[in-house]
């Protein structure tokens, strides 16, 4: 048997831990049935990017946790338990995979609730020696009725056992001055951040981020924050935008690229 810390290396044995759920100590261990139903996650990683650690969350209706409403009254909710793990390279190509048990087992009878994974720029990266890692391209897949580990403003409902996600991304270099001058290597996409899929039946999940590395968008915060000063975006065609938005104009990026490709 493995310790809970070994969850970063395996999804099979995330065993014996103790904690406070519902105000009393409980055995929160995972003990999935060998040969039990699994979810397979596959990520095709573009050149220049790396996979992020995958955040896995299980829920239990047996091991409750106590929350409090706006009036301070206790409210029992499904307990949760989770861990981080790394996706493993499949052979010698650019594909990385992981498998998760649908039923985590154990005294709490854990069930897979949601998972968050994605890609980002490493450090150092091709965008410059002084460019540090920023937000990447991430998705969340939700398998039950509970809220995911991270709330986002965008969600989609998917049916069936197969979930295939192919999304366009653009390199984004952002400069900030809040804690000194820093440059961040980020990814710009359609939703402006992490996207959530509600896919309760999904058992085969494929994520392919398509990186258009030749189309870099840059942004810079004002050096001094004054009313009416906004982040300035500079697009690959040289045009500038400073209208109060916090993320690049994805539609504009698409038009620049597709026009440049002659499509």
User: Could you tell me if 138 and 117 are in contact, meaning their C-beta atoms sit under 8 angstroms apart?
Assistant: yes
- Residue-level length of the chain: 263
Summarize the confidence of residues 67-80 as an average pLDDT: 89
C-alpha 149 chain-centroid distance: 10
Query: Mean per-residue pLDDT for 230-241?
Result: 95
Instruction: Report pLDDT for 83.
Output: 95
- pLDDT recorded at residue 261: 54
83-107: per-residue pLDDT in tens?
999 999 998 789 999 999 999 999 9
Percent of the chain with pLDDT over 70: 88
The pLDDT of 154-175, averaged and rounded, is 95
CB 149 within 8 A of CB 117: no
Which residues, 6+ apart, have CB-to-CB distance to 155 below 8 Å? 195, 196, 197, 198
Residue 16 · residue 1 · CB < 8 Å: yes
Cis peptide bond N-terminal to 181, omega within 30: no
CA dihedral sign, ordered 182, 232, 189, 155: positive
**Closest listed residue to residue 187, CA positions, set 238, 234, 244, 121:** 121
- Between 129 and 117, name the one with better pLDDT: 117
Q: What is the mean pLDDT of the chain?
A: 87
For residues 140-148, give the mean pLDDT: 95
Radius of gyration of the chain measured on its C-alpha atoms: 21
pLDDT number for residue 6 = 34
Q: For the chain, what are the domain ranges?
A: 4-260
In contact, 142 and 200? CB cutoff 8 Å:
yes
pLDDT digits (tens, 9 = 90+) for 25-71: 578 899 999 999 999 999 999 999 999 999 999 999 999 998 888 88
**Structure confidence by residue, pLDDT tens digits, 4-18:** 333 333 333 333 333
């Amino acid at each position: 048997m493995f310790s809970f810390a070994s969850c970063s290396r395996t999804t099979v044995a995330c065993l014996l831990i103790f904690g406070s759920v519902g105000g009393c100590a409980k055995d929160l261990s995972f003990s999935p049935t060998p040969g039990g139903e699994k979810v397979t996650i596959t990520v095709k990683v573009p050149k220049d990017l790396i996979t992020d650690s995958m955040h896995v969350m299980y829920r239990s209706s047996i091991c409750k946790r106590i929350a409090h409403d706006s009036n301070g009254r206790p409210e029992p909710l499904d307990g949760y338990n989770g861990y981080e793990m790394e996706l493993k390279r499949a052979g010698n190509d650019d594909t990385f995979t992981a498998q998760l048990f649908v039923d985590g087992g154990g005294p709490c009878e854990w069930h897979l609730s949601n998972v968050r994974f994605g890609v980002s720029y490493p450090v150092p990266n091709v965008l410059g020696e002084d460019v540090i890692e920023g937000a990447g391209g991430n998705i969340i897949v939700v398998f039950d009725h509970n809220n995911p580990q991270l709330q986002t403003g965008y969600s989609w409902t998917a049916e069936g056992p197969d979930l295939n996600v192919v999304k366009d991304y653009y390199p984004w270099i952002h400069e900030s001055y809040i804690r000194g001058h820093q440059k961040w290597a980020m990814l710009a996409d359609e939703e402006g951040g992490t996207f959530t899929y509600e896919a309760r039946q999904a058992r085969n999940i494929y994520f392919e981020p398509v990186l258009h590395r030749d189309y870099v968008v840059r942004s810079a915060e004002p050096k001094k924050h004054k009313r009416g000063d906004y982040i300035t975006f500079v697009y690959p065609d040289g045009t500038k935008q400073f209208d109060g938005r916090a993320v690049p104009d994805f539609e504009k990026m698409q038009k620049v690229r597709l026009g440049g490709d002659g499509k």
